[in-house]
């Protein structure tokens, strides 16, 4: 084979490889999005009929918090066992776990599982790191469920409830609420329930939007879900140290 033929054969092989690569890219660009649209589209969420007694609430949500000129978007998993246990796992928009929050009757902790470190604080302080404003766990549960006036949930939180002012809609659901400089408004409910699907909130230092992506009630949970016995293997850090690590990773 002379030089010209060898050169031509190489060009043909290269073109063949390029064609294969281009075909693969075209498949990824056009067919994969179609596959996800068809197969991964979330089904309509139904909470009706509501159980007579709500003991556990779990699901996924997306949140956007804006402070001054900076906005942060994330998704999180939440699991609440009423009246006073909660577990939240916050994800990066690409799906990587950023941090976890666990609250029980004894402690409230902010965890970085990848570093095996944690910060322990008051539950209002811990939830503030997620939402950008101070709420206790009872108030956060009510923010999502709309069960502010459920006497079974109040107990030791009656003082907390008394500091709020609410506005109801025509179906007697709590449409908006205010405490001091904090205000929230439910933009959309789940069907004929008090559960918020989309809500907005405003505070002196922040504002945001929260959307529930999926939610289930009274699902079975694993034993030890809210246990903090594993903290023996973690190192306790100050919030300043935790904040620096988060900033470096971002």
Per-domain residue ranges of the chain: 1-29, 56-249
174 with 147: CB under 8 angstroms? no
CATH tag for 56-249 (out of 2.50.20.10, 3.65.10.10, 2.40.50.140, 2.40.10.10): 2.50.20.10
pLDDT string in tens for the chain (250-residue length): 554 445 444 554 555 555 555 555 554 554 444 444 434 444 467 788 899 899 999 999 999 999 878 888 899 999 999 989 999 999 986 778 999 999 998 899 999 999 999 999 999 999 999 988 889 999 999 999 998 866 544 544 545 555 899 999 999 999 999 998 899 999 999 988 999 999 999 988 889 999 999 999 999 999 999 999 999 999 999 999 999 999 887 6
Q: What is the dihedral of CA 190, 194, 198, 203, to 10 degrees?
A: 180
So what's the pLDDT on residue 153?
47
pTM for this prediction: 0.77
């Amino acid at each position: 084979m002379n030089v010209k033929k060898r050169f031509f054969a190489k060009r043909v092989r290269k073109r063949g490889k390029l064609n294969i690569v281009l075909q693969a890219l075209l498949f990824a660009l056009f067919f994969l999005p179609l596959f996800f649209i068809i197969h991964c589209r979330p089904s309509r969420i139904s909470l009706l009929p509501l159980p007579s007694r709500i003991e556990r609430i779990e699901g996924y949500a997306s949140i956007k918090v804006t402070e001054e000129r900076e906005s942060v978007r994330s998704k999180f998993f939440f699991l609440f066992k009423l009246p006073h246990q909660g577990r939240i796992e916050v994800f990066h928009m690409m799906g990587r776990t950023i941090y976890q929050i666990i609250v029980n009757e004894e402690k409230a902790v902010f965890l970085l599982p990848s570093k095996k470190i944690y910060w322990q604080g008051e539950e209002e302080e811990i939830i503030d790191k997620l939402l950008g404003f101070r709420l206790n766990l009872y108030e956060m549960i009510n923010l999502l469920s709309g069960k502010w006036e459920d006497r079974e949930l109040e107990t030791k939180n009656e003082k907390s409830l008394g500091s709020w002012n609410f506005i109801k809609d025509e179906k007697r659901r709590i449409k908006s609420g205010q405490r001091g400089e904090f205000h929230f408004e439910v933009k959309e409910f789940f069907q004929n329930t008090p559960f918020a699907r989309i809500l907005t909130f405003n505070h002196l230092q922040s504002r945001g939007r929260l959307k529930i992506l999926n939610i289930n009630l009274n699902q079975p949970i694993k034993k030890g879900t809210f246990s903090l016995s594993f903290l023996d293997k973690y190192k306790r850090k100050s919030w300043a140290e935790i904040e620096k690590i988060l900033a470096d990773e971002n």
